[in-house]
Amino acid sequence: MTNNPVVKGKLVCVALNDSKQFDAMQDAFNNAPYKSAPTQPVLYFKPHNTWSVDGAEVEWAITDGQPAQSMVVGASFAVVFDRECCRVSEEQALESVGGYALVHDFSLPEVSYYRPDIKGKCLDGSAPISAAVVVSAVTDPQALSVITQVNGETVSEMPLSQMVRSVAQLISTISYIMTLQAGDVIAIGFPGERASIEQGDSVSSAIAGVTQLNNTVGRA
């Protein structure tokens, strides 16, 4: 297990925050099991055993005693809290944020956003978190873009302006569900289309001029 110096309490991830994906799923949302589109952010946790660092090799998943057939990765802009944040308005939301970072979420392929996928999401070392940059280094987080490359080829580009809910909106909403504490991290939104990866791949994400995160995928 690798310790990560940035995250201390909890790593909350937001699913379905890419408006392209959200719009494309409208038909699916009208059918079972969803019945209607979610009206609240869809959240999941990456627990302690998943936390890892820039430069780390990420283990290839073992499921049912065998190397997993496939894995995927997504990268997200993340906010790091440096003080307690409870029931704040959108206007106050960024006051408790001390830094910005990048999070890689390695997982088994996502089958549904309806059922909690503990098995696919809680793989050891599957959430590397980059070094955090201080908030004052970034004028407008909504103007940033997260670019991810696998083996040097760009597989996704996620402008934060494409998110269903903004950084400040999400922090406000989540702060009414649970208190965020110093050392908590929220990964605000992943591209809807996760990138397929193979054993031995290198995965690099960057927010130009802000921070980057480089990992390799291990071999089973």
Q: How many CB atoms lie within 10 A of CB 197?
A: 21
Q: Where do the H-state alpha helices sit in the chain?
A: 19-24, 26-30, 118-121, 167-177
Q: Is 138 exposed, middle or buried (0-12, 13-18, 19+ CB in 10 A)?
A: middle
In whole angstroms, the minimum distance from the beta carbon of 41 to a second copy comes to: 9
Smaller CB distance to a second copy: residue 183 or 216?
183
Question: Which of 123/217 has CB closer to a second copy?
Answer: 123
Cα separation, 144 vs 208, whole angstroms? 8
What is the contact surface with a second copy in residues (CB under 8 A)?
Answer: 1, 9-10, 12, 32-33, 40, 43-45, 47-50, 62, 84, 86-87, 114-116, 118-119, 122-124, 176-181, 184
Nearest to 203 by CA among 157, 164, 148: 148
To a second copy, the closest distance from the beta carbon of 17 in angstroms equals 14
101 versus 155: smaller Cβ distance to a second copy: 101
- In the complex, what is the shortest distance from the CB of residue 203 to a second copy, in angstroms, rounded to a whole number? 21
CB of 210 to a second copy, least distance (A): 27
Q: At closest approach, how far in Å is the CB of 28 from a second copy? A: 14
Length of the chain in terms of residues written = 220
Query: Which residue, 105 or 149, is less far from a second copy as judged by CB?
Result: 105
Nearest approach in angstroms of CB 161 to a second copy is 26
Residue 4 identity (one-letter amino acid): N
User: Are the C-beta atoms of residues 204 and 55 closer than 8 Å to each other?
Assistant: no
How do 57-58 and 211-217 pair as beta strands? parallel
Sheet strands side by side (includes 145-150): 57-58, 211-217, 202-207, 145-150, 153-159
The residue (of 47 and 159) whose beta carbon lies closer to a second copy is 47
Residue closer to a second copy (CB basis): 59 or 210: 59
Rounded to an integer, what distance in angstroms lies between the CA atom of residue 114 and that of residue 134? 35
Report yes or no: 79 and 168 within 8 Å, Cβ to Cβ. Answer: no
